């Protein structure tokens, strides 16, 4: 039974129909690809090189500057000398414990290391490239992502687009409809791989997708302790990416990740706006409970929005699989249609809680 979605987003309804036209629809270590299903997003598994499983000498890592902090760790830009047998330095992201880290923090970092070993490597997953776990001063080395996270990149691009329009009055060369479809497809490919490893992300959002210098998206911060979602901090706005069953019953699964992916696509389409503009977190919860969905932006193609609405099906089992999503987005990329009017995305004013 197929379904389609109608309405302006203020009301949500599923109606049966007989037929709907489908949308045309590392920098340092060389991977060994094992193709599953060829597509333009490089959707295949990478075998983790033996070098990654070996301890990397601490004396070969030179920290440069702190670039971020998390719950129990901090991340710095660093140089790793002779990484994977290469001469000279490789720029990496160095993750270590904070100075005031507890024994539980150390366990959390080791748990993350074990998860990353299990996950292995994929073109659209932020990959581990080295580690030191045999001393008290634990660290992990990751690919360095020059362009930061996708949320910030989109918002910076939006500002650049504004400047370009004011100066040139024409389509910005910084982002195109095709670029945005590729971003969405790459995230879907990474999530397809994670789901194949039976890994639930639990916090999929544009802020948890990183971009390297080649504008390749890589999913990160997956598989964390999902119990932390039970006490979402006021003002964190994390609830805006959560599926109804995750909000109401703390039920997290690949299907709740699919819902969150739909929100990520909305972020991409709007070039980094915060979901559910003009709503508080409590209003978002009530809105979803009533069956509400964010309306289609005027500059977004109906086929792309239909895919998003499938991700937001009330019943998890009706949501598509990531493999199906990645395939549909690949077809959108290949058919060269304009699915997102970039100029329209810039010109539509959205008051958000950013």
What element of type H or E holds 158? Answer: helix 150-168
139-169 burial by CB neighbour count: b if 16+ within 10 A, else e? bbbbbbbebebbbebbbebbeebeebbeeee
Task: Tell which phi-psi region holds residue 259, choosing left (phi > 0), alpha (psi between -120 and 50) or beta.
Answer: alpha
Which of 99, 105, 136, 203 does the annotation list as catalytic? 203
Strand partners, 3: 16
Q: How far apart are CA 149 and CA 154, in angstroms?
A: 9
Residue 203 is among the residues annotated as catalytic for this protein: yes
**How many of the other CB atoms lie within 10 Å of CB of 211?**
20
Q: What is the DSSP letter of 173?
A: S
CA distances in angstroms from 196 to 27, 47, 69, 193, listed in the order given: 24, 14, 29, 5
Model pTM?
Answer: 0.81
State how far the Cα of 325 lies from the Cα of 197, in Å rounded to an integer: 17
User: What is the predicted pLDDT for the residue at 141?
Assistant: 93
pLDDT tens, residue order, the chain (354 aa): 433 334 344 333 332 322 323 333 322 333 333 334 334 444 444 444 444 456 888 889 999 999 888 777 899 999 999 887 788 899 999 999 888 888 888 888 888 888 998 898 899 999 888 888 877 788 999 999 999 999 999 998 877 755 554 454 444 447 899 999 999 999 999 999 999 999 999 999 999 999 999 999 999 999 865 544 444 544 457 999 999 999 999 999 999 999 999 999 999 999 999 999 999 999 999 999 999 999 999 999 999 999 999 999 999 999 999 999 999 999 999 998 899 998 888 777 654 444
Domain residue ranges of the chain, discontinuous segments joined by +: 33-143, 148-347
CB-based contacts of 101, cutoff 8 Å, min separation 6: 72, 73
What is the residue whose two structure tokens read 């075998």?
47
Radius of gyration for the chain, computed over Cα atoms and rounded to the nearest angstrom: 21
CB atoms within 10 A of CB 275: 21
**Separation of CA 60 from chain center:** 31
The per-residue pLDDT for 105 is: 86
* Residue keyed to tokens 């910005």: 172
For 264, the token pair is 């990520």
Report the SS3 class of residue 53: helix
Look up the CATH superfamily of 148-347.
Answer: Transferase(Phosphotransferase) domain 1 (1.10.510.10)
**Domain 33-143, CATH among 3.30.70.360, 3.30.200.20, 1.10.3720.10, 3.40.50.720:** 3.30.200.20
Q: What torsion do the CA atoms of 137, 142, 148, 149 make, to the nearest 10 degrees?
A: -100
Query: Phi/psi of residue 115, each to 5°?
Result: -65, -45
């Amino acid at each position: 039974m197929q379904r389609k979605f109608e309405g302006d987003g203020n009301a949500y309804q599923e109606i049966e129909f007989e037929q709907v036209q489908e949308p045309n629809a590392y920098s340092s270590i060389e991977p060994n690809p094992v193709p599953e299903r060829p597509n333009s997003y490089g959707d295949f598994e990478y075998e983790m090189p033996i070098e990654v499983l070996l301890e990397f000498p601490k004396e070969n890592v030179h920290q440069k500057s702190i670039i971020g902090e998390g719950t129990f760790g901090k991340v710095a830009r660093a140089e790793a000398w002779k990484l994977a047998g290469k001469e000279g330095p490789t720029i990496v992201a160095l993750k270590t414990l904070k100075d005031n880290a507890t024994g539980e923090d150390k366990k959390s970092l080791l748990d993350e290391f074990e998860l990353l070993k299990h996950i292995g490597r994929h073109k659209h997953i932020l990959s581990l490239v080295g580690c030191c776990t045999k001393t008290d001063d634990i660290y992990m080395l990751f690919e360095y992502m020059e362009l930061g996270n996708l949320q910030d990149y989109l918002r910076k691009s939006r500002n650049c687009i504004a400047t370009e329009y004011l100066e040139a009055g024409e389509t910005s060369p910084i982002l195109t409809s095709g670029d945005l479809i590729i971003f969405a497809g790459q995230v879907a490919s990474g999530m397809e791989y994670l789901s194949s490893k039976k890994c639930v992300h639990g916090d999929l959002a544009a802020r948890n997708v990183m971009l390297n210098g080649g504008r390749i998206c890589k999913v990160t911060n997956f598989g964390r302790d999902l119990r932390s979602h039970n006490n979402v901090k006021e003002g964190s706005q994390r609830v805006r990416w959560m599926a109804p069953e995750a909000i109401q019953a703390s039920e997290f699964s690949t299907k709740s990740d699919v819902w969150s992916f739909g929100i990520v696509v909305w972020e991409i389409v709007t070039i980094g706006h915060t979901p559910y503009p003009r709503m508080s977190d409590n209003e978002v919860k009530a809105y979803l409970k009533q069956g509400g969905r964010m309306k289609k932006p005027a500059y977004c193609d109906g086929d792309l929005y239909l895919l998003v609405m499938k991700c937001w099906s009330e019943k998890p089992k009706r949501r598509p699989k990531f493999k199906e999503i990645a395939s549909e987005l690949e077809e959108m990329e290949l058919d060269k249609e304009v699915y997102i009017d970039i100029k329209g995305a810039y010109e539509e004013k959205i008051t958000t809680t950013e």
